Amino acid sequence: MPLNHLAGQQSPYLLQHADNPVDWYPWGPEAFHQAHRQDKPILLSIGYSTCHWCHVMAHESFENQDIASIINEHFIAIKVDREERPDLDQIYMRATTALTGQGGWPLTVFLTAEGKPFYGGTYFPPLAKWGSPGLVDLLKTIAGAWKNERAQILSSSEEITQLLRETVQKDTVSSVLLDHSVLDTAYGQISGQFDRQYGGFGSAPKFPMGHYLSFLLRYYKRKNDPKALKMVEAALTAMAQGGIYDHLGGGFHRYSTDARWRIPHFEKMLYDQALLVRAYLECYQATGKSEYARVAKETLDYVLRDMQQPQGGFYCAQDADSLAVGSAHQSEGAFYIWSQQEVSQLLTEKEAQIFNYAFGIEPEGNAAFDPHGEFVGKNILYAAYSIEEVAAHFEISTTQAQEVLSKAKVKLLEHRHRRPQPHLDDKILTDWNGLMLGTLALGGAILHEPRYTAAAKKAADFILTHLKSKGRLLHRWRQEQADILATLEDYAFFINGLLDLYETDFEPQYLAQAQTLAEDMIRLFEDQDRGGFFLTACDAPQLIIRPKDIYDGAIPSGNSVGAYTLVRLHVLTLEDRWILAAEGIFKVFAASIEKTPSAFSFVLCALDFYLGPSLSIVLEGQRDDSALVQMSRVVYKHFIPNKSAVLRLSPLPLTAHVCRGTSCQKPTRDMAELENQLLS
């Protein structure tokens, strides 16, 4: 029998805590009523179901009866899934960062009964260690202060809340639009962060930063700067060779704990697959190198195999932790790592020799960085040598080496599927699905894979069927239940995905839906006084602030993608209403963007499109014309980021009209001529 108030929730994260001795409430009126009635502060814990340190804190503290008793006696405890409620996560993450200078998950925040924060942090161990205060002492200290120093706490909560409100209004609306110089500044800042030894940006821990790469590719296209492309290629190659990439099953882990991309945090997020595959696809277009297409294809195949729900939507994530064979305890990466002995038992002697050499497998394990002792005697697969080096070492052809490795991978993958599976967060989010279906649509067009296009359409239709109610988008679906009003990110990401799908498949319903949803986005989220968009709708339940942000973190912000979609819609339709809304975003955030443009890499993709020149491609003819597939392949053969493609129905044979700005070229039906016009 559940011990708290989380039973019946749909969030997998909340359900993980339904049997805790902590008397958790979901976010809602009842929890705040109890805080007022019992005169207690609120302990707010925000995390997600595939979060490793959330699991650690749960096992150490929230499953501990003694600690739970302290929480239950002195606090009203609220659990929030950050993926279900990005609005709450953004507000209280911002508060915690202001208080401590850092954020992360699990997020631990103490609030008044009005929801105003007065203290916060991230992971707290039960007792003080690693320079962090212990949760037990912290709970007792705050309980004592609530009793004896209430006025000071209330004053502090008012100051923090006022600071949060000021951050929403801090940007001065600029009368001057951003220009090309901000792109140059961003490029300089990103270049300064580039790791020239190991690829990628910054040092350990090292994150994939897919939207950095998309910006750099656009800068390369605009400036014809080979250094920009070189950075992109170095990062994509290093990630594809490193342990952050799943060399057996495809797909990318969340981030690398070391600078060399060898030791990943093994969680797999849907949005990482979407953003990274897009970068690999664009780099394939820019270079023609098949290695980038291979990684994109393997990752999309992983998503379709392991992350797609039967009705078409895509699940959120797979956990980093899982049960090791023969163990009752979950550990990081157990599903993915190998002992040399295990590999030798599954492969022939020759296969094992070649596989071990190719993927850096060592008898004592290959994890040079293992602070928690989870990889002792185990190996994390990484491409230690190229296929040419493997072939030379064993004095065989590259074809023979590839055949041996392919067979070995199949054997090991089949065995891995029989291991205890990592936890799957099986909720479906509109925003992340928008990212994924857009990438699949591009993958179908660029890789000539109709099944990717079909999967994108299936996902779009799922959202339109199951995550709309009374004309409104909803945010989350799970087990036949859709709920939670959609945020700006849901609208912006889904609209962008629909536009990707329309421009690769040309079904008019997707363009029509995108325009209708864009009208709703402006009506529900736009700041009519200052420009830009709020995260929450105008009729959403009121919180202590109405968040409004453009920072591009692990995923691009709603304002960034919103600006991008509005520019795309303007180029597609030539309607001024779309570009006016986009200009509102550029103007209200101009000061922040100019100060540190590298923090806004995706809005700079939108700005790059806005500044032009953009390319308009009008295909005139019938959808069932056999030439449409050929023309689409020509359109998506090369990296031309700032383009739009429209099919105008006509009984005439299919004809292409290519315009750059207001200058149009001669209509053509010839594929070679079309390619020349696109590249001229």
Other Cβ atoms closer than 10 A to 382: 21
**What pLDDT sits at residue 167?**
84
- Which stretches within 10-79 are classed as H helix? 12-16, 29-38, 52-57, 65-74
Q: How far is CA 79 from the centre of its chain?
A: 22
The upper half-sphere exposure of residue 140, i.e. CA atoms within 13 Å in the direction of its Cβ, equals: 8
* Measured distance CA(298)–CA(438) in Å, rounded: 17
Nearest to 259 by CA among 209, 197, 191, 320: 197
What fold, for 182-321+425-611?
Glycosyltransferase (1.50.10)
Backbone angles phi, psi at 85, to 5 degrees: -125, 70
User: Does the predicted model carry a pTM greater than 0.95?
Assistant: yes
Q: Which helix (H) or strand (E) holds 220?
A: helix 210-223
| Res. 52: pLDDT tops 60 | yes
Nearest to 108 by CA among 53, 49, 167, 31: 53
**What pLDDT sits at residue 374?**
87
**What pLDDT sits at residue 49?**
96
Instruction: Name the CATH code of domain 336-418 (choices 1.10.357, 2.60.40, 1.10.10, 1.10.8).
Output: 1.10.10
Reported confidence tier of residue 28, pLDDT bands at 50, 70, 90: very high
The upper half-sphere exposure of residue 154, i.e. CA atoms within 13 Å in the direction of its Cβ, equals: 9
Q: Over the stretch 522-576, which tens digit does the pLDDT of each residue have?
A: 999 999 999 999 999 999 999 999 999 999 999 999 999 999 999 999 999 999 9
* Measured distance CA(83)–CA(271) in Å, rounded: 12
- Please provide the average confidence, as pLDDT, over all residues in the chain: 95
Backbone angles phi, psi at 471, to 5 degrees: 80, 0
Of the two residues 96 and 2, the one the predictor is more confident about is 96
Q: What is the DSSP string of 545-569?
A: S--------SS--HHHHHHHHHHHH
CATH assignment of 12-168? 3.40.30.10
Q: Over the stretch 98-136, which tens digit does the pLDDT of each residue have?
A: 999 989 999 999 999 999 999 999 999 999 887 789 999
Q: Over the stretch 155-196, which tens digit does the pLDDT of each residue have?
A: 999 999 999 998 887 666 766 679 999 999 999 999 999 999
